[in-house]
């Protein structure tokens, strides 16, 4: 499947912004079955500087600075991505306790990379309450992959999608109390559960293709920024799960970036001088290209 993706972010300020410095994670990653064929970033007004680097997780990070007064900022990322079917899940996987116990001693390149995702991060703190919730799925000697799918299903059933219940700064502890939130909240809560059992888990930022109701045309901009979780399974690699939809991500998911939590890979962030209050509008159009 090949997708053309347009991700448009618009800030409108009540007073002029004199200087704005911004960082974006809007370049899709290239993976074995997931390739970024092209990418272009269009910024209005034109930035005075624009640079790019690869961060410590392998994500493409772009930084730009706007040094002329402005009351509106438009950031439009235009990408074309080829996505194959996701890899098959393992028919067998080690018991989750064995994975947790082995992580400090796994000196392979994959194990060392995964181990940093066991620990607390700025927005996710492991705790007893998360371990207790996860324990219903991670029973004694249960295979990791099986337990992970069960935890994903339980979060999907126990938590309600509510875009007004949380903000980007809501902590997993509050999400747990409310049992409401959005994809970002469910991902960070699931990561908290896994890390509380000393299992490596990372936050994945990307896109999800949506489908219109039967008989309705597809609406431009109706697709969504999304978030899900990857958990590490020795011998297999990273296993992706999407608790918001209770599915294993496949060719309808496009990966932008991954990190310890949302703060590492938020699509757009920055600092401005001036502006006072502002409004934010975000639209994503993820269009399959037939015949390519």
128 to each of 125, 131, 193, 248, how far by Cα in Å? 10, 5, 9, 27
pLDDT for the residue 218: 59
pLDDT value at residue 9:
96
pLDDT for 222:
57
Three-state DSSP state, 128? helix
Please give the CATH topology (third level) of the domain spanning 2-84+267-288.
Immunoglobulin-like (2.60.40)
Q: Are 86 and 5 in contact (CB under 8 A)?
A: no
pLDDT tens track, the chain, 292 positions:
899 999 999 999 999 999 999 999 999 999 988 999 999 999 999 999 999 999 999 999 999 999 999 999 999 999 999 998 776 788 889 999 999 999 999 999 999 999 999 999 999 999 999 999 999 999 999 999 999 999 999 999 999 999 999 999 999 999 999 999 999 999 999 999 999 999 999 999 999 988 776 777 655 545 778 999 999 999 999 999 999 999 999 889 999 999 999 999 999 999 999 998 999 999 999 999 865 5
pTM over 0.85: yes
Q: Which of 3.10.620.30, 3.40.50.720, 3.40.50.300, 3.20.20.60 would CATH assign to domain 96-264?
A: 3.10.620.30
Quote the pLDDT of residue 96. 98
For the chain, give the longest Cα–Cα distance: 61
C-alpha to C-alpha distances, 271 to 19, 20, 185, 231, nearest whole angstrom: 8, 6, 24, 33
- Phi first, then psi, for residue 65 (nearest 5°) are -130, 130
Q: What is the pLDDT of residue 225?
A: 87
Domain boundaries, the chain: 2-84+267-288, 96-264
**How high is the pLDDT of residue 211?**
77
Check residue 219 and give its pLDDT: 54
Please tell me the predicted confidence (pLDDT) of residue 84.
87
Residue 258 parent element (H or E): strand 253-259
């Amino acid at each position: 499947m090949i997708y053309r993706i347009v991700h448009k972010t618009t800030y409108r300020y009540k007073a002029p912004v004199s200087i704005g410095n911004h960082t974006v994670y809007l370049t899709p990653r290239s993976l074995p079955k997931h390739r970024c064929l092209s990418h272009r970033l269009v910024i209005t007004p034109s930035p005075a500087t624009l640079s790019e680097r690869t961060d410590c997780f392998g994500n493409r990070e772009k930084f730009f600075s706007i040094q002329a007064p402005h009351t509106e900022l438009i950031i439009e990322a235009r990408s074309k991505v080829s996505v194959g079917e996701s890899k098959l899940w393992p028919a067998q996987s080690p018991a989750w306790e064995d994975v947790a116990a082995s992580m400090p001693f796994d000196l392979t390149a994959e194990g060392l990379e995964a181990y940093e995702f066991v620990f607390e991060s700025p927005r996710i703190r492991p705790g007893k309450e998360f371990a207790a919730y996860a324990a219903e799925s991670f029973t004694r000697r249960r295979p990791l992959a099986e337990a992970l799918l069960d935890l994903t299903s339980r979060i999907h059933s126990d938590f309600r999608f509510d875009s007004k219940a949380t903000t980007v700064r809501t902590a997993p502890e509050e999400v747990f109390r409310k049992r409401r939130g959005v994809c970002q909240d469910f991902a960070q809560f699931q990561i908290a559960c896994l890390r509380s059992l000393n299992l490596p888990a990372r936050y994945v930022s990307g896109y999800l293709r949506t489908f219109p109701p039967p008989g309705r045309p597809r609406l431009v901009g109706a697709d969504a920024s999304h978030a899900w979780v990857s958990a590490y399974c020795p011998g297999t690699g990273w296993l992706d799960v999407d608790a918001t939809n209770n599915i294993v991500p496949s060719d309808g998911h496009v990966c932008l970036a991954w990190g310890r939590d949302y703060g590492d890979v938020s699509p757009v962030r920055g600092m401005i001088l001036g502006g006072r209050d502002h409004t934010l509008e975000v639209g994503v159009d993820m269009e399959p290209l037939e015949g390519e």
